[in-house]
Structure 1
């Protein structure tokens, strides 16, 4: 049996980010992502919560041959007649292990010079390595709303492994509903839909509630990610009632601490401020200012 390939960089931690200028944000105080594995960013509409996640998503790139998403600043901040993004500037503080040596509190600057037509820095190919996943609000749109056909065909196959067992277990706890099996439904065009069975009723994601679909997406993304991964979720609370949100936070907090993963999410739900024993609460009091 061939030896499993090992990552060259491990132990990655995003310690903090300080945004001097980016989109609507000017002079954001340093946001520190400690001591907990989970960080909640709260703030009113237009305060820059999503902008912060977009910046963080673009810090890293996946190591070749390993999973992860490759997000770039140019994708989140495209040029337009009204926005060149010149003068954008933010600094991150990183820790990681390379060749057995721990590198702590390394500072990296990202942004775009004031000169019109400037390129974003860091150079994309030189960004630090890390497995990153970003779940934007668009990922929460019910699949049935994006399906244009009125007659949907698919072939069903049952899936069973440790990951699926854990997803079903946690989903049952969070949604207070006994899930007993997990299926994949492959459409003729190759598109895969998930499906579950509960109390003898089998159904696909086309028939799931929006909140139910979101829980399965979040659990699958977080549980399948490798150690030291970074998961970013825009509006974690969207489509979830308080009880489900509390249970979800309980599950992902325990998992992230155990597997050395970082999870950073935005929210409007002030209820999360009561969970400061397991979440770093970071509130944007107004545009460009953060309270630690």
Structure 2
């Protein structure tokens, strides 16, 4: 399983810095009062690296463009161009901002507005360096018109226009791409330096030009070099950050951006369809755009279809996390197997985002299928059967499931051992491991991880599903309550 290398302490320090507005320049918040499908939708930048996710056409680029328009460095038409009489919907578009700019106000935030009236954008935008990396950054060198002059047999660049990359660039690119880029260089094609061609070197020392780079390799080198040469406290905007990248490289790019946010105090906002891009980020750093609403919170990108009703099932079920997902699915599978074909269960990674998404789903007139929400026993959200928000049994889910299953060991211990991929004759050893882990455990969220480690590095998902399945078999009445909540919401819909 892919993992991030960012420390929790780094995340917490940056969260605190954002909360205290400890920056010289920082975009703290924007409110899309009216732009495209959004009305009165706030986006708070509680972390200096922010991901905007959502389905195609959901409004990710709208949010990115709204952020860009906060500053003089970007013209609004870069994102919101008007095409004659064909864009009359732009009438009265407006975006409000809360901005930190210590040069303008040393003690407090300033407020600004960008609006489209009388067929033009009006704004009093402060200065700040903004770097824009659009999807065109991954266009291969041989398809870029400005580099075609370099694709000649007699092409040559003076030595004084060729430069090696600084150590910070080489180290960052090396970590992201997983290769040594010590011999890589940049050639200025024009004296202004606006057009450049990259060169690399093989393991045998043979040189080659950017025309033989991978698109992702080229875009990463250029992007990192530009970020490193930019002023501190710049705003960096990136469209579809995963374009041209392997999943591991995508994680490493986001890790680099977090490190750059800490070291150079830059702020980054990017759009993505990639779960890997979200992995290093805290929940507060992720916003979901869904055509007319914007939610804060981490979720699986695969859930986006369910949020907008784009699933071929009779209902969507939103739960807090992967454990709740396994738990609900196990209850349905064990107690009403036919029902499993009519629903999709989606982990939303937080009770707030699960409830908010569920409420949006059921109040959106464009979505015809219902949704159901299950919150954990320790959630501060309110359960309400009339709104199809149900509470799972117990307090701490991991503890409740774990302890419940151990309490029926005499009857179900053999089944659990087999589900944990052990032989019948290892029943006693498995029980001892479970008891030892429970006695030594200090964080119930890690119970299934620790069991897996003691059982020969068994994946957490396998342990989790084993316990949830045995729980559903051992406690049919409790499992039936979960299934009943689902089936009652689907009356007349299943076939």
Identify the TM-score tier after normalising by the shorter chain: 0.7 to 0.9
Alignment of 1:43 with 2:46, yes or no, is no
> Which aligned pairs between 1:9-48 and structure 2 lie closer than 5 A?
11-23=24-36, 25-27=37-39, 29-34=41-46, 36-48=47-59
- Matched residues in 1 for 2:167 and 2:80: separation? 39
Q: Distance in 2 between matches of 1:17 and 1:142?
A: 35
Can you list the C-alpha shifts for 1:247-274, whole angstroms capped at 9, x where unaligned? 1111221121222110100001123333
1:59 partnered with 2:70: yes
Find out whether 1:269 has 2:281 as its counterpart.
Answer: no
Compared CA separation, residues 194 and 16, structure 1 to 2 (3 A): same
3-state SS of the aligned residue for 1:265? Answer: strand
Counterpart for residue 126 of structure 2: 128
CA positional deviation for 1:44: 0.6
Counterpart of 1:237 in 2: which secondary structure?
A: coil
In the superposition, the TM-score normalised over structure 1's length comes to 0.82
TM-score by length of 2: 0.50
Measured at CA, do residues 175 and 28 of structure 1 come closer, stay the same or move farther in structure 2, by a change above 3 Å? farther
Structure 2: 5+ residue runs without aligned partners?
1-22, 297-495
Q: Distance in 1 between matches of 2:107 and 2:61?
A: 29
> Residues 69 and 114 of structure 2 are in contact (CA less than 8 Å); yes or no, is this contact kept in structure 1?
no
Mapping for residues 28-177 of structure 1, pairs under 5 Å: 29-34=41-46, 36-61=47-72, 70-80=73-83, 81-84=85-88, 85-98=90-103, 102-113=106-117, 117-122=118-123, 126-147=124-145, 148=148, 151=152, 153-155=155-157, 157=159, 158-160=162-164, 164-177=166-179
Residue 251 of structure 2 is aligned with which of 246, 252, 264? 246
Q: Which deviations, in whole Å up to 9, do the C-alpha atoms of 1:211-254 show, x marking residues without a partner?
A: 10111122112211111110000110111111001111112211
Question: Contact 2:251–2:279 at 8 Å: present in 1 too?
Answer: no
Alignment of 1:196-215 (within 5 A): 196-199=200-203, 200-215=205-220
CA gap of 1:29–1:77, structure 2 versus 1, over 3 A, is closer
- Extract unaligned runs of 5+ from structure 1: 1-9, 62-69
Structure 1 residues 49 and 194: CA distance shift in structure 2, 3 A: same
User: Within 5 Å, which residues of 2 pair with 1:206-245?
Assistant: 206-245=211-250
8 Å contact kept, 2:32–2:66:
no
Aligned partner of residue 27 in structure 1, secondary structure? strand
**Higher strand proportion (structure 1 or 2):** 1
Provide the rounded CA distance (Å) in 2 between the counterparts of 1:181 and 1:19.
46
Q: CA–CA distance in 2 between the matches of 1:291 and 1:188?
A: 45
Contact kept in structure 1, 2:163 and 2:187, CA below 8 Å? no
1:182 to 184, 194, 198: 184
* The structure with more radius of gyration: 2
Q: 1:129 to 1:188 in 2, by over 3 A?
A: closer
Separation in 1, partners of 2:284, 2:184: 30
Whose RCO is larger (CA < 8 A, sep 6+)?
Answer: 1
Q: Secondary structure at the match of 1:44?
A: coil
Which whole-Å CA distance do the structure 2 matches of 1:217 and 1:257 have between them? 21
Q: Aligned residue pairs: how many?
A: 263
* Bigger helix fraction: 2
Whole-Å separation in 1 of the counterparts to 2:256 and 2:206: 25
Distance 1:249 1:45 in 2: 21
Q: CA deviation at 1:188?
A: 8.0
CA-based RMSD of the aligned residues comes to 2.4
Match of 1:239, SS state, is coil
What do the CA deviations read for 1:57-90 (whole angstroms, capped 9, x no partner)? 22212xxxxxxxx321134322223114211111
**3-state DSSP of counterpart to 1:155:** coil
Q: Is the 8 A contact 1:154 1:186 kept in 2?
A: no
Q: Distance in 2 between matches of 1:189 and 1:227?
A: 25
Q: Secondary structure at the match of 2:41?
A: coil
Q: Partner of 2:371 in structure 1?
A: none
Deviations 1:25-70 (A, max 9, x none): 3225211111x22000000110111122122222212xxxxxxxx3
